[in-house]
Amino acid sequence: MHAFSVVTLGIFVAGYSTARWDLVTRLYELAIFAWDHGVVTRAAKAVAVLSVFFLLVILPVERLAAYENDLHPRTTGGGISAREQLKRRGSF
């Protein structure tokens, strides 16, 4: 390998490893900062509240919609379009 390419490769590897180390240390500092300021507990509380909201509101509405859909099924191929109905009535 040419001497210039060996130096270039060494500089690249050194810069890359330095950048990665800096990124890891900044992420570590950010995680400590978030833990100290209660971000983790607030996020956990938000997940819990949204889960309860889902269980108490969204899930029963979905079950009710599924029940009503079973009571009153619609056939997709048997209906007449709104445009066809208007044509038959003479309104279109």
Domain ranges, ordered by start, for the chain: 1-37, 38-74
What does the alpha-carbon distance between residue 74 and residue 66 come to, in Å, rounded to a whole number? 13
Using DSSP's 3-state secondary structure scheme, residue 54 falls into helix
Going by pLDDT thresholds of 50, 70 and 90, the confidence category of residue 1 is low
pLDDT at 77 over 90: no
pLDDT of residue 88: 87
**Angle value at C-alpha 78, between 75 and 79, nearest 5 degrees:** 95
Mean pLDDT of 38-67: 94
pLDDT of residue 36: 95
Crossing angle of the two packed helices 39-53 and 3-36, in degrees rounded to 10: 70
pLDDT of residue 73: 79
By the 8 A CB rule, do 86 and 92 touch?
A: yes
Which ranges in 1-92 belong to alpha helices (H)? 3-36, 39-53, 59-71, 82-89
Mean pLDDT of 20-46: 94
pLDDT of residue 78: 67
